[in-house]
Amino acid sequence: MTVGVTRDNITIVLQRPRYPENIGAAARAMCNMGLTRLIVVDAEAWDDARIRRLATHEAGTVVDRVRRFDSLDEALAPFGHVVGTTARLGGQRPVIKSPDVLARSLIPISRNNPVAILFGPEDRGLTNDDLKHCQQLVNIPTAGFTSLNLAQAVMVVCYCISTAAHTVPAEFTPRLAKRIELDQMYEKLTASLIQIGYMNPENPDYWMMRIRRFFSRLQLRSGETSIIRGICRQIHRYGEKRYNDGLKDGGKGGA
């Protein structure tokens, strides 16, 4: 039995695209590869006529169904798995998979989870802050010149997704925590680690990036993020209690 990526659970997300023509060309590339779900976040310019001119008539249905958001947090909230695309390697971007390897890894994940493939703006790509939302990163190998047109990058990734296949049944993958649940967990965890003195409150992002990578490998479920948030709440309550107890003891001692 041969299984592939569940295309209905794949969404292409364009973060701050600069040119309407690239939105239309990306929609056309998606249509070519059998993908229909498109999200556009904070577009620099939205011109329906210019978008449809590049999308052509056949991809008009993709444009008709496009969802638009002002913030990436809101756009990615319902997704259980987010993949970021990047041309830059090293530093805070060490976990890189080529598009074909990525596509095969999405076969089991996409069976039960909505997946977002995130593309950055044409001139500078995704920022490190954007990549905090991602469980995986994908890099399209090039021969020296790394700059790809946005629609070209979308086409390459969509092609790999549409052709990926396993010749054996895919392993079971549970329904994963949504992006909004993970963000809520990381917010609580950051506050708790600062409260107990584990992280410098002036620059928590350095350590949180490592912690995010660790949790990304675990494929957390919704209930598991709730457990971690509950632990963080108890840390906060205990810290407050000890602080208040210290104030009371200090007052009795006449300090």
Determine the Cα–Cα distance for residues 162 and 143; give it in Å rounded to an integer. Answer: 24
The predicted-structure confidence for 88-116, as pLDDT tens digits, reads as follows: 766 655 567 889 999 999 999 998 899 99
CATH of segment(s) 3-166: 3.40.1280.10
Listed by start position, the domains of the chain span: 3-166, 179-252
Share of the chain above pLDDT 70, in %: 91
Share of the chain above pLDDT 90, in %: 50
- Pick among 1.10.3720.10, 3.40.50.970, 1.10.357.140, 1.10.8.590: CATH of 179-252: 1.10.8.590
Q: Determine the angle formed by the axes of helices 222-252 and 179-195, rounding to 10 degrees.
A: 20
The pLDDT score that the predictor gives to residue 91 is 60
Q: Are 38 and 11 in contact (CB under 8 A)?
A: yes
Rounded to the nearest angstrom, the gap between the alpha carbon of residue 52 and the centroid of all alpha carbons in its chain is 27
The predicted-structure confidence for 158-179, as pLDDT tens digits, reads as follows: 999 999 986 555 566 677 888 8
